[in-house]
Amino acid sequence: MHAARRLSVVLPVVVLGATVAAGAARAAAPAPVAAAIRQAVAQADAHGRATARLEGAVHAFRLRLAAIDRDIATTGARRNGLEAAVHRAEALGREIDGRIPAARARLAETLASWRRLAGVAAALRRDRPQDPRLARTIAVLASLRGALAEAGAALEALGEERRRAMRLSAWNREALDGLPGRLTALGQDRDRTAARLAAVLAARTARLRRHEAALRHAGWLRDLERAARLAAARAWIREPLPAAPVPPAGVALSRLPARGSPSSLVATAAVPTGSAALAAPVLVDAAPFAGVPPAVLPVGGVLAHAYGDRRAGPLWRGVTVLVHNPGTVRGPRRGRVVFASPFRDFGPLLILDHGDGYHTLIAGMDRIDVTVGTEVGVGRAVGRLVAGPGRPRRLYIELRRHGEPVDPLPWLASGHSGEAGSG
């Protein structure tokens, strides 16, 4: 009974939502609220796209920072290498500078010895040409001439090595002179990129917050819409009972007689007692359905609560059928499925839009076999009821015309349960 009360409160809300999808203006959400929801969703989508673009910018700036850091590291390593090369060249120059004086001294000493012996040889040639010492002196002079050549060549090699070291040092210093400026430029570029990255990160955070705020706003508007619909549903529950005759419970619904006149419906109330059944005629107003195509019964069963029966509690707006032989549930009339899904804890719920402001709501099935948008023909299978352990199943059927509940029994007057149809 509690579940029935809850179902009676929420089902009008679902009918409202389905009627919106079907285009029924009276059951639709207020236009300003729907427009505000669309605007909030559009804003959330726009913020989401902007956040994605900012995410791409963040990625690009991070890649740029990584490239700058690699360039700084490479330039720094090159600077260190050049500085080490300059130090080596200068050290070599200092070493050569230390060796040159000794080489010059050896050259000077050899040259002095050669000059001294050359004077002795000249004197011997002039005064004693036959002196044996002249030949030895000439031999010594020849060896000193070779030593002079070697000493001169060594001194020249030291000079050339020093000049090479100085040229290398100069070249390295020239290359090194441009690196501090490059490192400074790279550092400035890095600072600018880091600042832009920080700005983009802040913009992304702000945009993400706006995106989340827009989503929350859209959710709040949806909650407001649901609250308004729930208030309308509660108002419907408090509406006065329509002045229509109420058939008693126990009317057999496996076959209803065809409509004979536009003002009355004769149904048969069958109450099983053993193998016999008691029957009594029941008149139901059928005037609102004059000229409306007849429908078939979704299932065969026994009427547990008729339309307007206060014993049904909040479910007096429709009819409740006890089904002793569960099976296929069929569409009562041609229409389009506008809702077909489990609804909260009430199980599968089906809403059909028949046009001309008519909607049928069927609740209590174990399974729905159609999807939203499907065109359902008269008598087409739309779901199933599964047999329980010795208990009849209950199926709730509600009919609405322009959002207002009406008695579905006259509409179903000429239909038969389990009858196949087109579609």
Structure confidence by residue, pLDDT tens digits, 234-288: 444 444 434 334 444 444 554 443 333 333 333 333 333 332 222 222 333 344 4
CA separation (Å) from 159 to 97, 110, 324, 405?
9, 19, 121, 116
CA separation for the pair 400, 359 (Å, rounded): 5
CA separation for the pair 98, 265 (Å, rounded): 132
As a whole number of Å, the end-to-end CA separation of the chain is 36
- pLDDT over 90 at 59, yes or no: yes
> What is the fold of 19-238?
Helix Hairpins (1.10.287)
Residue 284: exposure state from Cβ atoms within 10 A (0-12, 13-18, ≥19): buried
Residues facing residue 62 across a β-bridge: none
Q: Between 142 and 283, where is the model more confident?
A: 142
- Asked if 314 contacts 8 with a C-beta cutoff of 8 angstroms, the reply is yes
Helix axes 179-237, 132-177, angle to 10 degrees: 20
Q: Between 139 and 21, where is the model more confident?
A: 139
Percentage of the residues of the chain whose pLDDT score is greater than 70? 71
Domain ranges of the chain: 19-238, 245-406
- Asked if 296 contacts 415 with a C-beta cutoff of 8 angstroms, the reply is yes
- pLDDT over 60 at 390, yes or no: yes
Q: Does the pTM of the predicted model rise above 0.85?
A: no
Q: How confident is the model at residue 24 (pLDDT cuts 50, 70, 90)?
A: very low
Q: What is the CATH class of 245-406?
A: mainly beta
Structure confidence by residue, pLDDT tens digits, 63-92: 999 999 999 999 999 989 988 988 988 898
Angle at CA 168, nearest 5°, toward 167 and 171?
A: 85
Task: Write down the residue that tokens 């409160």 correspond to.
Answer: 9
What are the DSSP calls for 79-122, one per residue? HHHHHHHHHHHHHHHHHHHHHHHHHHHHHHHHHHHHHHHHHHHH
Query: What residue ranges in 212-347 does DSSP mark as E strands?
Result: 266-268, 271-273, 276-278, 281-283, 302-305, 319-323, 328-330, 335-342
